[in-house]
Amino acid sequence: MTTLNILEACQLSCVRDDRLLFHDLTFTLCSGQVLLIEGANGAGKTSLLRILTGLRRAESGDLCWNATPIEHSELFYRDTAYIGHNNGLKLALTAQENLRYAQALSSATLHIDEAMAKVGLTGYQETRVRLLSAGQQRRLALARLLCTDKPLWILDEPFTSLDRASIELFESFIETHAKQGGLVIMTSHHETRLPHTLMQKIHL
């Protein structure tokens, strides 16, 4: 990841059920930066993330990935990984099969076994995801980030159901990713220990 990537949001606004959640939201995120979105329940954090992934249209405003509007950019989805409230895992498939599927849809980086070792799931390759605990399933979903080649990570509450050690582990992954030129956008209720030099914050 040597290229410089920029995500620009210009005067975004979001309306849900006739309620204005936010308006005139403008920010720029460059390679190597982490954007933390904070706000009370119902402030529109998830809605904002879904707008940033292009799954939802903003009421107004523009969103550009490397100076191309994301709806016209062929590269945006090549470069973006999203982990929402749902893990996007198939419970009836094994951990390995799930990761292999994720790699087939994008380009692979790490070997599956290495990615699973990194998130502490060695030995669970052949286990059906149904049999993993909630925290293990979340870790497997996050392992998807490590084994596919995506500069922009968009994470909705990535630390739900993780224990303290895993949270620290993932914070270190996020930090490494940013230092290697990646971009991270996340919401979190937890206090993050990421270095402040990397971080931008938006309070909705």
Partner 1 sequence: MKMPSLCRAFGAVITRDLLLAYRFRAELISPLAFFVMVITLFPLALGAEITLLKRIAPAIIWVAALLASLMSIETLFRADYDDGSLELMVMTPHPLSLLVMAKVISHWLIASVPLLFIAPLMGMMLHMEPPIIGVLLLTLLLGTPVLSLIGAIAVALTLGLRKGGALLAILVLPLYVPVLIFASSAIDAAMSGFAISGHLSMMCAILFLALTLTPLPTAAALKMSLS
The piece of 11-19, 93-101, 159-167, 169-177 that touches partner 1 (CB under 8 A) is 93-101
The piece of 22-30, 70-78, 110-118, 159-167 that touches partner 1 (CB under 8 A) is 70-78
State which of residues 97, 135, 167, 198 lies at the interface with partner 1 (CB under 8 A). Answer: 97
State which of residues 8, 59, 62, 149 lies at the interface with partner 1 (CB under 8 A). Answer: 149
- Pairing, β 19-30 against β 6-16: antiparallel
Query: Looking at beta carbons only, is 122 or 180 nearer to partner 1?
Result: 180
Look-up of token digits 């879904």: 50
> Residue 104, interface with partner 1 (CB under 8 A)?
yes
> Residue 119, interface with partner 1 (CB under 8 A)?
no
Q: How far apart are CA 85 and CA 65, in angstroms?
A: 24
State which of residues 34, 35, 95, 102 lies at the interface with partner 1 (CB under 8 A). Answer: 102
- Smallest gap, in angstroms, from Cβ of residue 154 to partner 1? 9
Query: Looking at beta carbons only, is 9 or 89 nearer to partner 1?
Result: 89
State which of residues 53, 136, 187, 192 lies at the interface with partner 1 (CB under 8 A). Answer: 53
State which of residues 10, 15, 64, 93 lies at the interface with partner 1 (CB under 8 A). Answer: 93
- Alpha carbon 23 to its chain centroid, in Å, reads 23
CA dihedral (141, 143, 148, 151) positive or negative? positive
CB 103, CB 112: distance < 8 Å: yes
> Residue 54, interface with partner 1 (CB under 8 A)?
yes
> Residue 20, interface with partner 1 (CB under 8 A)?
no
Q: DSSP letter string over 27-58?
A: EEEETT-EEEEE--TTSSHHHHHHHHTTSS--
- Pairing, β 152-156 against β 183-187: parallel
Look-up of token digits 């198939």: 90
Question: Where would I find the H helices in 106-187?
Answer: 112-118, 134-147, 164-179
Q: Which positions lie near partner 1, rule CB under 8 A?
A: 1, 3, 50, 53-57, 74-75, 77-80, 82, 84-93, 97, 100-102, 104-107, 149
